């Protein structure tokens, strides 16, 4: 049975954006409020410095704001870290955990990612959990095994996750490179992830599966049209409202 889940189109600004760029958030908000992307849920994840201001701009509108990471701890002596409670307090409703840039740059293990996801759910946030293989793993024929292991080991506890979990498939080699898997490969991996999710979670059928990695206005419709692709996690192309909205339109119309 094919899923017909409301697609989620999420922008991950990564370490980009100064206060002047809040104009992009306002432009996204205005277009969404005017009905430009009816049929898709829109989320912007700015850097932590802009989160409260972005949330204020979007308060009372359908545009959600999210964090890009959170601590597994609620508070305490963890210099530089931000807790899920703080994100929530600043106006976030989502947080991304387990992005490959965090796994690689900060040595985050699957267990730590699972603890972050659990902390986010405890704080009342929704979670986008990222998984994805490296180029070497794909070349070695280990893409599915790698992604399955990451999924299993970084999932938060099932009860907490119900209705509040999305999984993003982001092949590391497709992030920021302009190279994407073929639409066929995306369909195959998402189908595989759907089966794994159904085995692991009672509501695995309705967990949204996002694709991320060099999504652009020109390839969004083709990459995202499979029933098991329930949205996108967009990096570089989410920094400009016009590009992000073009992707969201392509997703909402398929
Ligand atoms: O990592 C990504 C989103 O989280 C994808 O980034 P790009 O869209 O810039 O390839």
pLDDT digits (tens, 9 = 90+) for 26-59: 999 999 999 999 899 999 999 999 999 999 999 9
Torsion angle (degrees, nearest 10) of CA 154, 160, 162, 163: -90
pLDDT band at 253 (very low <50, low <70, confident <90, very high): confident
Rounded to the nearest angstrom, the distance between the alpha carbon of 213 and the centre of ligand 1 is: 5
Strand, helix or coil for residue 138:
helix
Atom of ligand 1 nearest to the CA of 168: 4
The confidence score (pLDDT) of residue 254 equals 65
Contact between 127 and 157 (Cβ < 8 Å): no
Mean pLDDT of 16-29: 98
Atom of ligand 1 nearest to the CA of 237: 8
pLDDT band at 225 (very low <50, low <70, confident <90, very high): confident
The confidence score (pLDDT) of residue 162 equals 82
Rounded to the nearest angstrom, the distance between the alpha carbon of 36 and the centre of ligand 1 is: 23
ipTM of the complex: 0.99
96 closest CA partner among 212, 225, 252? 212
Q: What is the mean pLDDT of the chain?
A: 95
Ligand 1, residues 66, 99, 213: which to mutate, most atoms within 8 A of Cβ?
213
Residue 40 is encoded by which pair of tokens?
């898709």
Mean pLDDT of 228-248: 97
131 closest CA partner among 115, 145, 114, 150? 150
Ligand 1 atom 2: residue of nearest CA: 235
Task: Check 85, 101, 137, 170 and give the catalytic one.
Answer: 170
Res 1 pLDDT > 50: no
End-to-end CA distance of the chain, in Å? 18
**Cα–Cα distance between 65 and 67 in angstroms, integer?**
7
Structural domains of the chain ordered from first start: 8-176+186-253 (3.20.20.70)
Contact between 226 and 211 (Cβ < 8 Å): no
Pick from 106-110, 137-141, 248-252: least confident: 248-252
The confidence score (pLDDT) of residue 161 equals 82
Rounded to the nearest angstrom, the distance between the alpha carbon of 77 and the centre of ligand 1 is: 31
pTM: 0.97
Rounded to the nearest angstrom, the distance between the alpha carbon of 103 and the centre of ligand 1 is: 14
Catalytic (active site) residue 99: yes
State the binding site: 12-14, 176, 214, 235-236
Residue 200 is encoded by which pair of tokens?
């692991």
Report, in angstroms and rounded to the nearest whole number, the Rg of the chain calculated over CA atoms. 17
**Cα–Cα distance between 225 and 250 in angstroms, integer?**
9
Mean pLDDT of 5-15: 97
Task: Check 99, 101, 133, 243 and give the catalytic one.
Answer: 99
Res 2 pLDDT > 80: no
């Amino acid at each position: 049975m094919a899923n017909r889940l409301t697609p989620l189109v999420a922008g991950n600004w990564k370490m980009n954006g100064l206060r002047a760029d809040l104009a992009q958030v306002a432009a996204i908000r205005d277009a969404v409020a005017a009905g430009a992307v009816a049929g898709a849920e829109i989320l912007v994840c700015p850097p932590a410095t802009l989160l409260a201001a972005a949330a204020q701009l979007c308060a009372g509108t359908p545009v959600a704001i999210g964090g890009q990471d959170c601590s597994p701890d609620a508070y305490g002596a963890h210099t530089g870290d931000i807790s899920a409670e703080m994100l929530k307090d600043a106006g976030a409703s989502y947080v991304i955990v387990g992005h490959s840039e965090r796994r690689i740059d900060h040595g985050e293990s699957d267990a730590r990612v699972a603890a972050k996801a659990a902390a986010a759910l405890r704080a009342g946030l929704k979670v986008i959990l990222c998984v994805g293989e490296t180029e070497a793993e794909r070349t070695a024929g280990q893409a599915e095994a790698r992604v399955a292991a990451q999924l299993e080991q970084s999932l938060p506890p099932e009860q907490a996750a119900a209705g509040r979990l999305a999984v993003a498939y982001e092949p590391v080699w497709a992030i920021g490179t302009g190279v994407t898997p073929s639409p066929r490969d995306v369909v195959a991996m998402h189908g595989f992830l759907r089966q794994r999710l159904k085995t692991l979670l009672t509501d695995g059928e309705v967990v949204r599966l996002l694709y991320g990695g060099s999504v652009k206005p020109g390839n969004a419709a083709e990459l995202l049209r499979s029933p098991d692709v329930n949205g996108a996690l967009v990096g570089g192309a989410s920094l400009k409202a016009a590009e992000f909205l073009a992707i969201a339109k392509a997703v909402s119309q398929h």
